[in-house]
């Protein structure tokens, strides 16, 4: 469903990614693991179109993404939940959610109602806070809102960058359960996560990044048991 082949990218003259190749099959949740500063967020920004690769290929459902703007990629069915959520703090929960529809081909009132019902089924707390400004939500609630926003767009592939960062254990469990539910609904997930234990508990497979390259790939079970995981991640 999603594939990166020999992707090189960086900022200015500084290279960050060195020939990264990975793939995500439809219906999977795949973890991208690594210590801070190894290039995981750069990979996400390159995948979603915020950063143009120097060379290499990026495909989604057979369509080349390289050179496309982020809004074009979103309309193809790729959603992005960035690090630190990036919700609109002055807009209400409803307004933040409805902005997610800007990436959908169909923006009808019927679709808006249906998507809102689906989101509130998974995140009833957001229904309770529907008219509150985003800035009044807790960190965990803001993360729920960020995930719900890409669900509103009908994304078939969701890229998540550190969704549990800074959250209390109860919210971490909720986000983990939400990823499991997304899989059940047929949504594919590529998850960047510092918390390897959480990521491997919910993902089917994983990749380990080090210094801008993929250095190990295996099933989640193999990653949990491998000495390479302990060596590279300290877990």
- Nearest-angstrom CA–CA distance, 199 and 188: 14
Question: What residue numbers bound the domain in which 123 lies?
Answer: 2-233
pTM, to two decimals: 0.90
What's the CATH number where 110 sits? 3.40.50.300
Domain tally for the chain?
A: 1
Return per-residue pLDDT of the chain as tens, 235 residues: 999 999 999 999 999 999 999 999 999 999 999 988 999 999 999 999 999 999 999 999 999 999 999 999 999 999 999 887 788 889 999 999 988 887 666 667 887 888 888 888 888 889 999 999 999 998 888 888 998 999 888 899 999 998 888 888 888 888 888 889 889 889 999 999 888 999 999 999 999 999 999 999 999 999 999 999 888 887 6
């Amino acid at each position: 469903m999603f594939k990166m082949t020999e992707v090189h990218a960086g900022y200015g003259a500084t290279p960050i990614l060195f020939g990264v190749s990975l793939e995500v099959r439809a219906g999977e949740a795949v973890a991208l693991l690594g210590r801070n500063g190894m290039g995981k967020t750069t990979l996400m920004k390159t995948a979603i179109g915020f950063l143009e690769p120097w060379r290499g290929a990026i495909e989604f459902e057979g369509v080349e993404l390289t050179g496309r703007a982020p809004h074009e990629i979103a309309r193809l069915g790729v959603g992005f939940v960035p690090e630190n959520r990036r919700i609109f703090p002055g807009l209400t929960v409803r307004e933040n959610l409805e902005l997610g529809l800007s990436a959908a081909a169909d923006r009808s009132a019927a679709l808006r109602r249906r998507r809102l019902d689906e989101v509130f089924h998974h995140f009833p707390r957001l229904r309770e806070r529907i008219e509150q400004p985003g800035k009044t939500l807790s960190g965990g609630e803001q993360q729920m809102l960020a995930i719900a926003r890409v669900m509103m767009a009908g994304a078939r592939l969701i890229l998540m960058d550190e969704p549990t960062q800074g959250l209390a254990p109860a919210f971490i469990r909720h986000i983990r359960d939400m990823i499991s539910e997304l899989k059940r609904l047929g949504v594919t997930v590529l998850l960047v996560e510092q918390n390897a234990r959480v990521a491997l508990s919910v993902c089917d497979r994983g990749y380990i990044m080090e210094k801008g390259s993929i250095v190990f790939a295996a099933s989640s079970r193999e990653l949990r048991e491998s000495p390479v995981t302990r060596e590279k991640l300290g877990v």
